[in-house]
Amino acid sequence: MTTSLRPLIFAWQFLTAVPLSRDLHDPAPSELAGSMVWYPFVGVLLGGVLAGTDVLLTRWLSHEVVTALLILLLVGVTRGLHQDGLADTLDGLAGGRTSSDRLNIMRDSRIGAIGATGLFLSLMLRYSALLALPEAIRFPALLCMPAIGRWAMVVGAYRASYARAEGGLAAPFLAHLSSKHVISATVIAGCLTVWAFGPIPAVAALMIGGLVSRLATLFCRQYFGGITGDTLGATNEVVEVCFVLLIPLLTSLS
């Protein structure tokens, strides 16, 4: 395996349930940080799967059924990683009085009432927003949605501290994430959105996504003492939903 491809393989294997190589194990912390450059690219690939499936299935099924199947497909391919992070984050916020209490609750594998409610609302908003997309931008919106969400994780992770003193899954990613990594990820996301929607909607979408991700990081610093893999997953979910809700408005600006 070419050394330069290792970060891309790690990004794919971390963000999806589809293994590409069984030979790559124990990545170095610098490789984990480098893999975040490729998060938007992995998002593009996931978006391509969604957009292609949409084109194929709408020949035979209604938009309502296809939209529900697309959400099911995305959750399945990504093994529900980000949905789990959103539910855990909400449970922690609802059930803990201190940062330590909230982090302990987030480690519980069981989902609470607030987490379940938040997850349901997130899926409902995503479904409604996708269903309401104008036909002219449905394909590019499906293509870009996963890329914007995964790019937002990179932006949110930059110069953020890890919440747990003992370390955890996201700690090695944060330790070596540099401005070069963030800029490279932004170039990938920016080129995609400019190609898909034009410069004005693309810049607006990136500015909103970046603002939401940084506000989420500040919020997590206040309530958790830093960020975790779960809070990054929650950031992905929030930014993706915001994107599909707002992109029809943003495209009208051009």
pLDDT value of position 110: 85
Q: What is the pLDDT of residues 157-197, one digit of tens each?
A: 999 888 887 766 667 777 788 999 999 999 999 999 999 99
Which one-letter amino acid corresponds to residue 150?
A: R
CB atoms within 10 A of CB 100: 14
Angle at 43 between CA 244 and CA 176, to 5 degrees: 120
State percent of the chain over pLDDT 90: 69
> Residue 47: its pLDDT value, please?
97
Whether pLDDT at 23 is above 70: no
Q: What is the pLDDT of residue 170?
A: 66
Per-chain mean pLDDT for the chain: 91
Q: Collect contacts of 103-108 with beta carbons under 8 A, ≥24 apart.
A: 103/163, 103/164, 103/224, 103/225, 103/228, 106/228, 106/230
Total-model pTM: 0.93
Pure H helices in 21-112: 29-35, 39-57, 63-77, 81-95, 99-106
**Residue 98: left (phi > 0), alpha (psi -120 to 50), or beta?**
beta
Residue type, 136: A
Residues with Cβ within 8 Å of residue 164, at least 6 apart in sequence: 103, 171, 226, 228
Q: What's the confidence (pLDDT) of residue 251?
A: 94
- Ramachandran quadrant class, 43 (left: phi over 0; alpha: psi -120 to 50; beta: rest): alpha
More confident position, 20 or 74: 74
The residue to which tokens 């870009």 are assigned: 144
Q: Give the whole-angstrom CA distance, residue 79 versus residue 73.
A: 10
Q: How confident is the model at residue 220 (pLDDT cuts 50, 70, 90)?
A: very high
Q: What are phi and psi of 227, to 5 degrees?
A: -110, 165
Predicted pLDDT of residue 1: 46
Assess whether pLDDT exceeds 80 at residue 2: no
Contact between residue 208 and residue 120 where contact means Cβ atoms under 8 Å apart: no
Residue 235's closest CA among 152, 173, 119, 146? Answer: 152
Contact 33/172 with Cβ under 8 angstroms?
A: yes
Residue 25 banded pLDDT, cuts 50, 70, 90: low
